Amino acid sequence: MKVVLYFGSFNPVHIGHMAIANYVCEYADVDALWFVVSPHNPLKQKRSLLDSRTRFHLVELAIDDYPKMRASDIEFSLSLPSFTVHTLMHLRQKHPNYEFQLLMGADNLVSLHKWKNFEYLLENYPIWVYPRPDVPQEMWDRYPMVQRIEAPLIEISSTFIRESIAQGKDVRFYMPAPVSQYIEDMLLYR
């Protein structure tokens, strides 16, 4: 079984995340895509991060009943901070017959050299990369082994959504409806 792992904070999950995941599920040769909700990315600040279980719930709301996707809390039981290489080793032990692949935004190419054992990841796992307009071509040239996803570009960020909500803006259409409704009901990011 070919499983794409889409790691992220998903703080909050938005339609850009969902569109990329949907594209990979429907246009790539994969069986499933797991949203791996990271409790804490060691390269990001934890300041505005909702608790892990809430972000996991938001991803579940976003996925709804789409059969090829699932939310994964695998990193919740692993030691912190979360390192992709440790998660992959754990998953490989747990699911020895699965072929795991990675999905990331091109902005991660800029910091990939800072990831723990990044060379091992490049050598042992197919990596799908979603382009971003602000990532220079030299980053793509540095990692010719990554596979570029030719999905439509959607320029939305979780940071923009959080800041907009904090300013009292109505940004409901940037997120799946159940996610937006939950954030509104629970007064999150205010």
Is the residue at 169 inside a domain? no
Domain span including residue 32: 2-154
pLDDT tens digits for 158-185? Answer: 999 999 999 999 999 999 999 999 999 9
What are the residues facing 99 on neighbouring strands? 2
C-alpha distances out from residue 177 to 15, 146, 165, 174, 183, Å: 10, 33, 15, 9, 10
Output the domain CATH number for residue 97.
Answer: 3.40.50.620
Mean pLDDT, rounded, for 104-123 = 93
- Residue of higher predicted confidence among 48 and 131: 131
DSSP state of 51: P
Predicted TM-score (pTM) of the model is 0.93
What is the torsional sign of CA 142, 143, 148, 154? negative
Is the residue at 138 inside a domain? yes
Is the residue at 183 inside a domain? no
C-alpha distances out from residue 94 to 97, 120, 162, Å: 9, 19, 35
Is the residue at 26 inside a domain? yes
Is the residue at 185 inside a domain? no
Is the residue at 150 inside a domain? yes
Q: How many domains does one find in the chain?
A: 1
Is the residue at 168 inside a domain? no
pLDDT tens digits for 9-67? Answer: 999 999 999 999 999 999 999 999 999 999 976 656 666 799 999 999 999 999 999 99
pLDDT of residue 134: 84
Q: Are 161 and 171 in contact (CB under 8 A)?
A: yes
